[in-house]
């Protein structure tokens, strides 16, 4: 985490955009005031990085019309602009690179001359709680937003002219039918807010779970199954590896996954996109990226290691082997800071397996607020009650300090659930969600 104070400490927001292009998959920006296209918007346009921008809707034209016109002229579903009443946030998430939360608007003075203060979190510093809260904020903004249309632009252009002539008519402005009026947030207790967050999480999780189950039913059919998959491979595991192959073989352009582009192409007909992908998958003579090893060797090992009986007796060495076999743990270890897993921060370059082993050791030694270790938490999630209530226990493990294990986020837990219980819950991690998004499904992409 870095403190962004501009000229005071030399950490400017422009330092982020100068370095983020290679790793950024999309940008989510909720910034109330915007007058300068060159700070973020042109950067996204020029690097072809999808952008969703939420600016403030008010009678003082918080988002300059030159910004609105730039979006309007793009005529692209990849670059979305919406305005929201009662919005005063300054949050920018370069997804895949990092998150800024602070005071700076998208103005030249804010980025270069004003005293502004904020924090920048590297992607590896963003835990589930922070990610879920930020995604929830964007969801609330989206629900109460006015999409940019020619009518909204014309209204803002007229309003800007009225303000310049000092002849504003607030009543006429707010009476315009092109805008969505919103009274803002109502005060609620922390408990009610947590309950609402849980309900949103579970609604999305169950909805995506059914999509994965539908894919599991199709991908395991004989006509959709490549010859190199063993006969007893669970359908949920097959769905995971089908999505793995599709994501890495079909959505990447160089080092960057273009799943947002694919979503825009496929969102109106995900069934066709999925059927086309299944035909491609069925025709593969060999596994493109180790999916045969995962399905025929690693998946049975994980299912056995995470079974109720074996989990109770699991030792540190076997837990390390589990971590080395879980994609999302591997991916998180690649990005996590060395010092966070007990490794020296300078003077040595570590391999990914070395970092996974260090991470597994850190997780193994961690205790929750109630004193639970990782084996006890996993046993609680997988086998601690009604099978149909497992997502409720999963929520506790990512939100409640009594069950939360540092270093095991929603992607790792969602994937491990799937390897332990593939017949009931297909594995789900961040990569799974990106593949589903690419196939046209509007799912939430959690952090790894």
In a domain, 199, yes or no: yes
Examine the pLDDT at 186 and tell me if it is beyond 80: no
In a domain, 428, yes or no: yes
d(CA 445, CA 126): 13
Quick one: what percent of the chain has pLDDT higher than 70?
99
Of 4, 13, 8, nearest to 36 by C-alpha is: 13
In a domain, 186, yes or no: no
Query: What is the pLDDT at residue 166?
Result: 86
What CATH number does the domain containing 129 carry?
3.30.870.10
Based on the fold, state whether residues 229 and 271 are members of the same structural domain. yes
pLDDT-wise least confident of 202-206, 270-274, 437-441: 202-206
Based on the fold, state whether residues 145 and 17 are members of the same structural domain. yes
Based on the fold, state whether residues 176 and 199 are members of the same structural domain. no
Examine the pLDDT at 403 and tell me if it is beyond 90: yes
Based on the fold, state whether residues 159 and 207 are members of the same structural domain. no
**Structural domain ending residue among the three candidates 153, 181, 209:** 181
d(CA 434, CA 441): 9
User: Which one is predicted more confidently, 84 or 184?
Assistant: 84
Confidence of residue 447 (pLDDT cuts 50, 70, 90): confident
In a domain, 163, yes or no: yes
Based on the fold, state whether residues 210 and 146 are members of the same structural domain. no
Based on the fold, state whether residues 127 and 226 are members of the same structural domain. no
Query: What is the pLDDT at residue 80?
Result: 93
Based on the fold, state whether residues 222 and 153 are members of the same structural domain. no
Q: What is the mean pLDDT of residues 432-442?
A: 95
Based on the fold, state whether residues 154 and 215 are members of the same structural domain. no
**Structural domain ending residue among the three candidates 181, 215, 232:** 181
Confidence of residue 384 (pLDDT cuts 50, 70, 90): very high
Quick one: what percent of the chain has pLDDT higher than 90?
77
**Structural domain ending residue among the three candidates 134, 152, 181:** 181
Based on the fold, state whether residues 324 and 278 are members of the same structural domain. yes
Mean pLDDT of the chain: 92
In a domain, 446, yes or no: no
Query: What is the pLDDT at residue 301?
Result: 97
Domain count, the chain: 2
Based on the fold, state whether residues 265 and 234 are members of the same structural domain. yes
Confidence of residue 389 (pLDDT cuts 50, 70, 90): very high
d(CA 230, CA 223): 14
Examine the pLDDT at 448 and tell me if it is beyond 70: no
Examine the pLDDT at 127 and tell me if it is beyond 90: no
Residue numbers of the domain that contains 41 = 2-181
């Amino acid at each position: 985490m870095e403190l962004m104070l501009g000229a005071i400490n030399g950490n400017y927001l422009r330092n982020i955009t100068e370095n983020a292009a290679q790793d950024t998959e999309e940008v989510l920006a909720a910034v109330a005031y915007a007058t300068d296209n060159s700070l973020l918007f042109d950067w996204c346009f020029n690097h072809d990085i999808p952008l969703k921008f939420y600016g403030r809707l008010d009678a003082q034209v918080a988002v300059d019309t030159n910004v609105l016109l730039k979006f309007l002229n793009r005529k692209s579903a990849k670059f979305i602009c919406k305005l929201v009443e009662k919005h005063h946030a300054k949050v920018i998430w370069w997804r895949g690179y990092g998150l800024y939360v602070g005071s700076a608007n998208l103005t030249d003075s804010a980025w270069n001359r004003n005293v502004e203060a904020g924090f920048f979190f590297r992607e590896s510093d963003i835990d589930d709680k922070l990610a879920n809260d930020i995604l929830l904020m964007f969801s609330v903004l989206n629900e109460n937003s006015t999409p940019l249309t020619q009518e909204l632009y014309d209204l803002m252009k007229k309003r800007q002219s009225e303000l310049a002539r000092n002849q504003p008519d607030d009543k006429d402005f707010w009476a315009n039918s092109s805008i969505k009026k919103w009274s803002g947030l109502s005060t609620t207790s922390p408990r009610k807010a947590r309950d609402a967050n849980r309900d949103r999480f579970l609604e999305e999780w169950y909805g995506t779970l059914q999509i994965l189950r539908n894919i599991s039913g199709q991908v395991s059919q004989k006509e959709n199954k490549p010859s190199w998959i063993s006969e007893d491979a669970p359908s949920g595991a097959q769905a995971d590896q089908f999505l793995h192959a599709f994501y890495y073989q079909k959505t990447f352009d160089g080092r960057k996954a273009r799943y947002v582009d694919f979503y825009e192409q496929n969102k109106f007909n995900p069934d066709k996109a999925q059927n086309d992908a299944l035909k491609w998958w069925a025709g593969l003579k060999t596994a493109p990226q180790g999916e045969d090893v995962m399905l025929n060797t690693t998946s049975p090992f994980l299912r056995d290691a995470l079974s109720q009986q074996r989990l109770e007796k699991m030792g540190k060495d076997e837990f390390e082997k589990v971590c080395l076999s879980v994609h999302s743990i591997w991916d998180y270890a690649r990005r996590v800071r060395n010092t966070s897993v007990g490794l020296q921060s300078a003077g040595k370059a570590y391999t990914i397996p070395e970092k996974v082993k260090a991470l597994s050791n850190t997780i193994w030694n961690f205790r929750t607020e109630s004193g639970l270790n990782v084996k006890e938490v996993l046993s609680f999630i997988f086998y601690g009650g009604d099978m149909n209530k497992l997502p409720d226990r999963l929520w506790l493990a990512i939100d409640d300090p009594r069950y939360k294990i540092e270093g095991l986020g929603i992607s790792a837990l969602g994937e491990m659930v799937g390897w332990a219980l593939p017949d009931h819950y297909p594995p789900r991690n961040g990569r799974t969600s990106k593949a589903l998004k690419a196939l046209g499904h509007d799912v939430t992409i959690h952090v790894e």
